[in-house]
Amino acid sequence: MLHSDEFVDQPPPEVYATLLSRGVYLASIRTMYRLLAASGESGERRAQRAPMKHAKPTLTATASSPARSRCTPTAAPR
């Protein structure tokens, strides 16, 4: 049932809910996961896009800037 065209890309909880809404009980969700694991299919069932390589962003200064501080200069002590 998990390999049928209708359910091939759905996770076991969705297959379970769909079948129950039709009044059909074949197995528990956990048993569906066990069946998939036994056949080596316990990973993601949907088609996945390969990870993309992105350039690492770098910060570059365009002009010098005075140092900033939260402290403001105070008058000399008396």
Mean pLDDT split into 10-residue runs, the chain, 78 residues = 86 93 94 89 71 85 68 61
Residue 75 located in a structural domain:
no
Residue 10 located in a structural domain:
yes
Residue 30 located in a structural domain:
yes
Best CA proximity match to 11, nearest among 39, 37, 32: 32
Residue 22 located in a structural domain:
yes
Residue numbers of the domain that contains 17: 1-41
Residue 2 located in a structural domain:
yes
Report the C-alpha gap between 3 and 32 in whole angstroms: 11
Residue 62 located in a structural domain:
no
Report the C-alpha gap between 24 and 4 in whole angstroms: 15
Residue 11 located in a structural domain:
yes
Joined together, the tokens standing for residue 31 give 């048993």
Domain count, the chain: 1
pTM: 0.54
- DSSP H/E element including 18: helix 12-21
Residue 64 located in a structural domain:
no
